[in-house]
Each structure stands twice: as C-alpha cells, then as structure tokens.
C-alpha cells in the first residue's frame, strides 16, 4: 500500500495522477490530508482518503496503518514548526510499520549554507535516516512554476523583477517533473536508502529566466539585481513577517554563494528521460500577460 501525505496540494495531486498510470496491479493508494471531507480527489486515482494532521499525532496511526511505502511531502510553516511536524510524521510512520519513507527534500541541504530552508530539510533528512525505516530522499530543485508566475506578475505591474540573487544560476525544474520522479520512486523496486538530487536540464540566471518568460508571453520582462539591504526594505514594504523576510534574504545569499548551482543526471536515472526544458514548460503554462 502506498500512502501520500499532502495529497490535496499541487504536488500531491500531480503525484496521484502519475501513480494512476504507474502503480503495480493490486497496489492500493491512500491519500492522506488534513481535510478529507473537502479533498475531492478522482476515484480512479485513490482507493482511500484518510485524515492525517502532522500537528495531531493521534490521526497519524490510523492514517499510516497498513502503508508500506509513504511519500512524505514537506509542509509549510515556520522553520521550527516544520522540523517538529516532520519529526511527528516520521515517528508515526515507523510506529505504524511503514517500510520505506520517500521524502521531498530540497536541492540545498549543505551545513555551510546560510539558507534556513537547507537546515529544515537537512534535519528532516537526518530524522528520516535515523527512523528505522528505509528511505528515499528526493532533493528537489527549485520549482519553475511559482517563480515564473511571480516574475511575470511583478514585471507586468511593478516594472523589473527585483531580487538579491545577483547573477546566480539555478537548476529550475517543472513541478510536473518532480511529481513524476516521486511516482517513480514510490513504485521502484529499489531497496531504498538512496538520495536523488533532482535538477532541471540547464542552469539559468534570473536575467535569463525573465527573458524566457518574456518570450513565452510575448512581452519583454527584466530582472534587476538588488543588494540585501534593498531587498530587505522591499520585503518590509510588501508586509512580510520578520521570519519570512530573514528566510528570503538567507536564501538569496545561498543562491549567490553557489549552493544551488549544479546539474545532475539523477532525474534521468530515476525517471528514464531528461527533464523538460524550461522554455518548453513556460510555453505551456498559463502565465499572466
């Protein structure tokens, strides 16, 4: 039995769609969500919907009962809450007899990285690896989907997209590719205890990305690199809370320091094809224009 946490989120829904194509005969699919009463998941994708709230550990024993392979999709929230909630889920999975945990980690988990996101995922990985379950770690590259929409929306209304990323080049990847990779990991016959660092097919700077988005929507867009202090002021004017402001600044510093500047062939080894080219992904996206 395969269990999917965060099943009603954007990534979770896409994973379920791929599992509908990939799952071995007779394999049951359990969708785990905080709000099963409003899940509205296609019956042909899911055999059962269960309530699973990482903050309410009482729900997790029933949610994970009988599950042999669990996709644990990382949750949102402040850093310490995320670490605690992930730990709750890992502990519950082990107690429920889950054999393998597949965790959606992040491309940068380096202890030297200034990024708080790297720390959250590194500590969660350590928890997964110490759980007693076998494990597969999906170190997902930065999603192109959300970044592209934010650049398009900002550039069309407020002028150049401003960020403190400098000339950093990143391995952007489509969420649909990461969903397919997760489905492949869940249905693979590998024994586990393996990490995949999943990059897109090319490294792109924000300047190059803005140009590609502009080509996709038929309007010129621009990226304007700013200093950390300028970016901090911008985030304050946007009303971001201090913790999120600090996280964005540290993430920008990690980008500039090269902690995400890498390409791998892990996606092709896991899925059996190359990841989609970003220009092709952008042409199929419903971007604001």
Mean pLDDT of 141-152: 94
Mean pLDDT of 157-164: 91
Segment 177-216, tens digit of pLDDT:
999 999 999 998 877 899 999 999 999 999 999 999 999 9
Check residue 253 and give its pLDDT.
98
pLDDT band, residue 22 (cuts 50/70/90)? confident
- Residues sharing a CB contact under 8 Å with residue 234, sequence separation 6 or more, in sequence order: 162, 226
79-96 and 116-129 helices, crossing angle to 10°: 20
pLDDT band, residue 286 (cuts 50/70/90)? confident
Say how far apart CA 229 and CA 282 lie, in whole Å: 31
Give exposure, 163-182, as e/b (b: 16+ Cβ within 10 Å). bbbbebbbbbbbbbbbbbbb
Distances (CA, A) of 284 to 4, 47, 213, 217: 27, 31, 11, 10
Closest to 86 measured CA to CA, from 101, 107, 67: 101
CA dihedral 57, 136, 192, 91 (to 10 degrees): -20
242-256 and 116-129 helices, crossing angle to 10°: 90
Location of structure tokens 């080509």:
215
Segment 258-278, tens digit of pLDDT:
999 999 999 999 999 999 999
Query: For residue 40, is pLDDT > 90?
Result: no
pLDDT band, residue 158 (cuts 50/70/90)? confident
CATH architecture of 2-141+174-200+262-275: 3-Layer(aba) Sandwich (3.40)
Say how far apart CA 115 and CA 101 lie, in whole Å: 25
Query: For residue 165, is pLDDT > 80?
Result: yes
Give exposure, 242-257, as e/b (b: 16+ Cβ within 10 Å). eeebebbbbbbbbbbb
Where exactly are the structural domains of the chain? 2-141+174-200+262-275
- Residues sharing a CB contact under 8 Å with residue 273, sequence separation 6 or more, in sequence order: none
């Amino acid at each position: 039995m395969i269990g999917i946490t965060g099943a009603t989120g954007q990534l979770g829904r896409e994973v379920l769609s791929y599992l509908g194509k990939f799952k071995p005969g007779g394999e049951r699919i359990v969708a785990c969500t905080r709000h099963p009463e409003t899940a509205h998941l296609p019956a042909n994708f899911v055999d059962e919907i269960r309530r699973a709230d990482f903050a309410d550990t009482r729900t997790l024993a029933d949610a994970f009962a009988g599950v042999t392979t669990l996709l644990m999709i990382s949750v949102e929230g402040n850093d310490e809450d995320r670490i605690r909630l992930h730990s709750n889920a890992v502990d519950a999975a082990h107690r429920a007899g889950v054999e393998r945990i597949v965790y959606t980690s992040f491309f940068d988990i380096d202890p030297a990285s200034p990024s708080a996101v790297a720390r959250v995922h590194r500590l969660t990985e350590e928890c997964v690896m110490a759980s007693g379950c076998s494990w597969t770690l999906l170190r997902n590259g930065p999603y192109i989907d959300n970044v592209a929409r934010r650049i398009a929306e900002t550039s069309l209304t407020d002028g150049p997209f401003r960020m403190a990323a400098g000339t950093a080049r990143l391995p952007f990847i489509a969420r649909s590719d990461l969903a397919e990779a997760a489905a492949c990991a869940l249905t693979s016959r590998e024994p586990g205890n393996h990490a995949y660092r999943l990059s897109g097919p090319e490294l792109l700077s924000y300047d190059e990305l803005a140009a590609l988005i502009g080509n996709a929507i038929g309007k010129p867009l621009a990226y304007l690199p700013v200093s950390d202090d300028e970016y901090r002021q911008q985030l304050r004017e946007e009303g971001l809370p201090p913790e999120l402001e600090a996280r964005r600044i540290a993430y920008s510093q990690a980008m500039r320091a090269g902690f995400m500047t890498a390409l791998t062939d892990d996606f092709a080894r896991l899925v059996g094809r190359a990841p989609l080219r970003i220009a092709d992904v952008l042409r199929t996206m419903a971007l604001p224009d």
